[in-house]
Chain A
Amino acid sequence: MTTSIPHTKIRDSKLARTTGFSLVEVMVAAGLSTLMLTAILGAFNFIGRSGFRASSYSQIEAQIRRGLDTFSNDARMANDIQWNSAQSITLSLPTAGNGSSDVTYAYDASTTGATAQSFYQMSGSPGSGNAKRVLIRDLDPTFSFARFKLEQNGVTNNSAVNDLETKLIQINLKIVQSALTAGQSSQSSKSARYLLRNKRVSN
C-alpha cells in the first residue's frame, strides 16, 4: 500500500513556518537578548569605569611625580626655610654669586579660583601676589608639610619645632578625582624627606 501526501499540505506547512514566530519564541528571544545586552552593557560600563579610574590613577601618578620633582629640586637647594603654616612654606634659594631668592610652596584650601584645592609654587613670599603655578590639583584639605631635624643618637622623635632646627621637609597629600558616573579615584602619598642641603642648622 502506498500513501501519498498531497502537494498542497507541504506548501501549507512551509508557509506556516515562514510567516513568523510564535509569541513564545519572540518572548524567549527578547528575554535572552535583554539578558545578553544587559551583560554586555554591564561589562562595557565596568570596563569604562575601570578605564577611567586607571586613567585617573595614571594622571594622579604623573601629577604627583612632576609636582614633587619640582618641589624637591628647590628643597634640596634651599639655604633657609620659613614655616608659614602646615600648608605653606617659603624657601630661600641661592643664586649665582652670594644672592638668594624666595619661593613659596603652598596649598590653596579655597574651593574657587584658579588654584583652588591645589599645591602651587609662587616666587617670593606668600603675600607677594606673584603668579602662582599649579603643581598638583584636586588635593584633599588634609594636605600638609612636615619638618624634621637631623637624626641624633638616642632621640626617637626628630620632628623639628622651629625653622632654626629644620633640616628636612616632607609632604603628605591625598588626591581625589571624581566623575559623575565613575565615582572617585583617590591616592594618598607621602614624599621622601628632602634634605635642605644648603641650610645651616646648629651643628
Chain B
Amino acid sequence: MFSGSHTSCFQSRRGAVLIVAMLISAVIALMLGSYLSLNLTSTRLAFRSFQNHAAVNLVEAGAEEALWSFNRDNQGQADAWTGWSTSGSEAWKKFSGFDFTQNTTGWVKVYVSNTQPSSNDSPKIVALSSVNPPNSAPATRMMEITLRRRSYFANGLIAKDTITFNGNNATVDSWNSDPDNDPNTAPIDYDPDPSHGIRKDGGTVASLSVQNTAVLLNQADIWGYVYTGGAQPQVGNQGSIRGASTPAGVKIDPDRVATDFNAEFIPITSPLGGTTIPFIGSVLGVAGTTTSWRCSSLSLSGNSTLTILGDVTLVLTAPSGSSALSMAGNAQIIIPSGSSLTIYTEGDVNIAGKGLTNNNTQSVSFQLWGTNQSVAGQSIQVAGNGALRGIVYAPNSNVKINGNGDVMGSVVANTITLVGNAAFHYDEALANFGGNASFGVDKWRELTTPAQKATYDNKFSGW
C-alpha cells in the first residue's frame, strides 16, 4: 500500500514535467517554424529579384543581337540576318540555353519589324525574355526598342580640340528647317523674330577636349548649350550662355553647361565612282540630275564663278598638304535653288573671294567632307557671301569660318575658329540627317501591362 502510493506521486510529477516540456518544445518549434518561413520568404524574394534582373539583362542582350544585325546589314555584310527566320521585311530569332545555375535556365525571343529600312525609317526591335527557375513561375520581361540612324551632325559646332570665337558679337542659336521630318514638305527658313517662334535655344557648341581652353567663347552669346570633355568654357565679360528657361540676369546658366561630352569621330573616305575631268569650267552638273565628278583640284580667281546644276558630288583628289580648292578675288561658287554640291577631299580648302552663295534653305545643299587622315591634317577656310549655308564634316581638319553674316548648318572638325561677328544657326533637322549612317537606339520602352504586351503577343506565340 505504501509503496503503491509513492510510485503514483512520482508518475504524476513526471507527467507534469512532460507536458511543460512539450509545451515549451511546441513554442520553440513554432518560433523556429516562423524563422524558417521568414527565411524562406526572404530567400524567395531575393531569388525572384535576381531572376527579374536577369530577365532584364537577357531581354537587352537579345535586342543588342538584333541591333548588331542591323548595323552589319548597313555595312553591306551578307550574313547579317543569317540564322533569323524572315517573312517579308520581318524577322524572328530565339536565343536559348542561358544557364543561371541552380537549374535555372533562360531564353530570349526577338522580333524585328523591318530588316530593310530606308534612310528615314525607324524600325522596331521587340524582345521577350524568360528566366525559368525549377520550382516556380518564370520571370519574363518584354521590351520595345525604336531605332534611328545616328547623325554626324547631332550638334552645331563640334570639335575634337578647341572651339574659338574671335568676334565681339558672335552668336549661336538654332532653328529646325524640317520640323515634321518630311522631305516632301517645304523647308522652313531661319527667322530671328522671336514672335514667329522659329528661333530656338538649341545652338550647341561641343568640344571633346578636357583642357580649360576647350571652348573659348570670349564675347560670343550662346543661345543654347555648351559641352566640354571636362573643363568649364571660358566666357568673356560680354559673353553669355543662356536659353529660354534661363532666369533674367543670369549670364552663364549652369544648367546649360555639361562637362560630359564624348563622341566618336568616324573617318570618312571618298566615294570611288564619278567621271574624271581634267578641269572644272564655269558650270558643273546637269539641272535636275544627280552627277558625280572627279578632278584633282579647283581654283577660281578674278571674277570667275562656278555654278552648280543638279545634285553634284565632286571628289577633289589633290593629296594631303596641297591645295584642293582655292578661291580669290571676286570668285564665287553659286548653288541655285534646287541644286546641291557635295565635295570630298583630303587637300586644303580655301573658299574665299565672294565665297559660297547657296540659294537653298536647307544646309545639306552644300556638304564638305574632309577625308584627310594624315598627322598634319588639313586646313579648311570658308567665307560666305550673305548667308553661308552648309555642313562640314572634317574630323582631322582645322576649320576657320570667316564672315559677319549668318552661318547656317553644322561643323564637325578637329578645331573650329569663328572669325568675325558671325551669327551661327544650327539646323536641328540635321540631327535626322542620317543618310546611310549606323543605327542607334532612339526609344527604349519596357512593356509591363497586359495591354502593352498584347500588341506583340501574336509575334511571340507558337515558336
Contact = CB atoms under 8 A, between A and B. Distances in A.
B439 interface: no
Contact of A149 (B24, B45, B260): B260
A165 B34 CA distance: 48
Interface string B225-259: 10101100000000000000000000000111111
B321 to A, nearest CB: 31
B262 interface: yes
Interface residues of B, number: 39
A62 to B, nearest CB: 6
Given A51-B35, A55-B38, A202-B227, A73 B258 contact: no
B58 to A, nearest CB: 15
B41 interface: yes
Given A47-B31, A165-B259, A202-B258, A94 B230 contact: no
B35 A162 contact: no
B38 A58 contact: yes
A61 B44 CA distance: 12
A69 B49 contact: yes
A61 B56 CA distance: 21
A167 B31 contact: no
A138 interface: no
A69 B31 CA distance: 31
Interface range on chain A (Cβ under 8 Å from partner): 35 or more
A201 B227 CA distance: 10
Contacts of B35: 51, 54
A203 interface: yes
| Closest 7 pairs between A and B when the two form their complex, measured CB to CB | A202-B227, A165-B258, A149-B260, A197-B444, A203-B262, A202-B261, A165-B260
Given A14-B2, A154-B210, A164-B225, A58 B42 contact: yes
A145 to B, nearest CB: 17
B260 A167 contact: yes
Interface in B1-44: 2, 24, 27-28, 31, 34-35, 38, 41-42
A198 B443 contact: yes
Contact of A201 (B27, B38, B45, B258): B258
B206 interface: yes
B230 A155 contact: yes
B196 interface: no
A65 B27 CA distance: 31
B308 to A, nearest CB: 34
A96 to B, nearest CB: 8
A39 to B, nearest CB: 12
Contact of A202 (B27, B225, B444, B446): B225
Nearest to B42: A58
Of A155, A165, A198, A202, chain B has the most CB atoms within 10 Å of the CB of: A202
A164 B255 contact: yes
A45 to B, nearest CB: 12
A58 B441 CA distance: 39
B337 interface: no
Interface string A166-177: 010000000000
Contacts of A164: 225, 255-258
Contacts of A96: 452
B45 A150 contact: no
A132 interface: no
Interface string B248-280: 000000111111111100000000000000000
Nearest to B32: A47
A110 to B, nearest CB: 29
